[in-house]
Amino acid sequence: MKHKCTLLLFIILISVFTLKAQNPWIISANQSEFSNYYGVTVANGMIGIISSPEPLKVKEVVLAGVYDIYNRGRVSNFLPNYNLLNLNLSINGDYLHSGNVSNFRQELNMKEGSFSGSFDYKNIATVTYSYYALRNLPHCVLLDVNIKAKSGIKIDAENVLETPSSLRDQQNYYHEIDRPHLYIPLLTSIADSPSKNIKVAVSNTFLFEEAPLSEPKIYHKVEDSNKHSAKFAKEIKTGEQYSFSVVGTLLSSVQTPDPFNQAERMTIYAKLEGKERLLNRHQKAWDKLWEGDIQIDGDPQAQQDIRSMLYHLYSFTRENTDLSPSPMGLSGLGYNGHIFWDTEIFMYPPLLLLHPKIAKSMIEYRYRRLDAARQQAAIYGYAGAMFPWESAASGAEECPVWALSGTFEHHITADVGIAAWQYYLVTQDIEWLKEKGWPILKATAEFWASRVELNNKGQYEIKNVVAADEWAENVDNNAYTNGAAIKNLQYATECAAVLGVAAPKEWSKIADNIPIFTMENGVTREHDTYTDQKIKQADVNLLAYPLGIVTDENQIIKDLKFYETKVPDRDTPAMTQAIFALLYSRTGDGATAYHWFKDAYLPNLNPPFRVMAEYKGGTNPYFATGAGGLLQAVMMGFGGLDINPQGGIRQLRTAMPPHWKKVTITGVGLDKKTYIQVNDKK
């Protein structure tokens, strides 16, 4: 009965969200839907821009990798940063805002990595605008504005730089590059982080379509010590269209030793590249990303939603960095921008299969902080490396003291080791394994060898941990922690064999004797004192996937049937039900898999762009961890993809939702293969 009621809820929610035909690439909304508004993000893996219900505005700008202590207790966090695209537009002296425009629409174009808006003003002008976090230039953004005059009008456009309260000791500059063939006015601000350890710089300029030296005159205005602007005016005749752009750069001393000069250099570069070249390169970069795609035949709404999940993971990451995404990616300041196990276990696997170079950046993040993890282990009296539960810039523990996870949720160390081995299995990059994979696997295995405790039965127990199910605190022999430690030790031993180096014999002995217990009913026990308590998220079920420790199908189903009843209707993160969906698909029950697939995210969606929150009814989007879990449900569940333990990628026969006809996954692995799963049960 419970599942029937839940299914009815799904049908009602689906009907609400699918009143209009679904475009597989574009999510749109009109002004009537803006009263309950959750912004959607345009990002390039470095800069995140969050939309606003106000025309020509953005809510917030996030810069990856820049952390300092500010208003969030005693731990570091993403800093509220400069808004590069703060544009004021007036027509005939009337400042435009949501209260005096009509026919206001917005849309996210996932294929192009752009956000657009359009509106009318008093039947005398139509304004359209689009903004981009340029994929080809990681620190640059572009806002493009077009105004069509239905009668003669005068516009005033003002680009404002205001220093946020999170930054200190700002300095505002207005520079003019004046050459015989060009004129570039630069609106620039620099400021310090609260600790003064980091300097942030921003620089903007206008792009015009007029010939050089015939562009509108720019006026610099200083309002107060925290704010200055660049402004121009233009008269537009009846029937004419006029276009201009704002291009800007945001970066910090984390990325370059001289952010002040480099911000202006990059803005000059973007200015002289010109809008057309910038957007062509941006589009080519997104086209390359979308070579890795998922196509659903038979469910238009699921197609759009899955694309949104993939779009957000692509937006929050990039190759050739040592950056790794937080649970909320670049969609805001949620979870302080810290890195958790969410990365390695949920977001990483889909990216590893579709874009191994992006996955490599995520592992690089851990590798560069391996020494910090070694120091952390030593502080606790352990050997090897102990990765922090919450990690930021330094790799030290950033979890608030009141949260016991920072002290006791040790499975994160195994999660990092598992991800390292998976990268090797998919890429077969032996040089990377020697240089970076083996140091990670060796150090994490050494940690577990020192962390286990031998009991009088010859078992190596792991005591006093916070479980993957975080409602279980300070428990012994947590199923997932024990299972992850087993795999970490096994993978380290396999790695040593591949490289021809000697692995300590105790690694295999310990792995073979770490216990996984069952209850009297035959269900795998979550921890030593577990009976039938509610659980926050999947724990035991992760032994079947991704760990592959529980392989008997009857046992997998038995564990599913038990623990799915222990998940409450609220307060469980989206990836919990995603794991249920994946496992039901792999055990041949497509209908139940589809139930959990929808339950994982549909009640979490927020208007008007279907942005996913962490929990049902939650208000903290966008939850990239949930997106990663759901993409695994589609790719490794419905699509049957699997990382082959012998190396490479294979495809399993799995079950699809009954009404889906086909799943096509393109651009998989280094050879960019296409995998197709057809629903032959229809």
Structure tokens at 421: 């081995």
Q: What is d(CA 137, CA 342) in angstroms, rounded to the nearest whole number?
A: 27
Angstrom CA distances, 450 to 373, 377, 443, 541, 573, stand at 14, 10, 11, 26, 32
Nearest alpha carbon to residue 413 among 384, 387, 392: 387
Q: 93 Cβ partners below 8 Å, 6+ apart?
A: 154, 156
CA distance 445 to 385: 8
AA letter at 60 = E
For residue 633, the 8-state DSSP code is: I
Query: Tokens in use for 100?
Result: 């005096």
Asked if 366 and 376 count as a contact pair (C-beta separation under 8 A), the reply is no
Q: b/e map of 229-251 (b: 16 or more CB within 10 Å)?
A: bbbbebebeeeeebebbbbbbbb
DSSP state of 10: H
Indicate if 470 belongs to the active site.
Answer: yes
AA identity, residue 561: K
Q: 64 vs 47, 322, 363, CA distance in Å?
A: 6, 11, 16
Q: Compute the distance between CA of residue 369 and CA of residue 383 in angstroms, rounded to an integer.
A: 16
Instruction: Give the contacts of 47 (CB within 8 A, at least 6 positions apart).
Output: 61, 62, 63, 64, 133, 138, 139, 140, 141, 250, 330
Q: Hey, what are 601's tokens?
A: 């995210």
Distance of alpha carbon 165 from alpha carbon 680, whole angstroms: 59
Distance CA(217)–CA(196), nearest Å, equals 36
Q: For residues 43 and 177, what is the distance between their CA atoms, to the nearest angstrom? A: 29
Angstrom distance (rounded) from CA 470 to CA 587: 27
- What is the spatial distance between Cα 143 and Cα 507, in angstroms, rounded to a whole number? 55
Catalytic residue among 33, 162, 470, 473: 470
DSSP state of 80: P
Q: Which helix (H) or strand (E) holds 667?
A: strand 662-668
CA gap 238, 235 in Å, rounded:
10
Give the CA angle between residues 203, 206, 211 to the nearest 5°. 140
- CB distance 571 to 598 below 8 Å: no
Q: How far is CA 543 from CA 525, 540, 560, in A?
A: 11, 6, 11
Q: Which residues contact 395 (CB under 8 A, 6 or more apart)?
A: 368, 369, 370, 371, 372, 373, 387, 388
Contact 670, 427 (CB under 8 A): yes
Catalytic annotation present for 614 = yes
What amino acid positions are annotated as catalytic residues? 470, 614
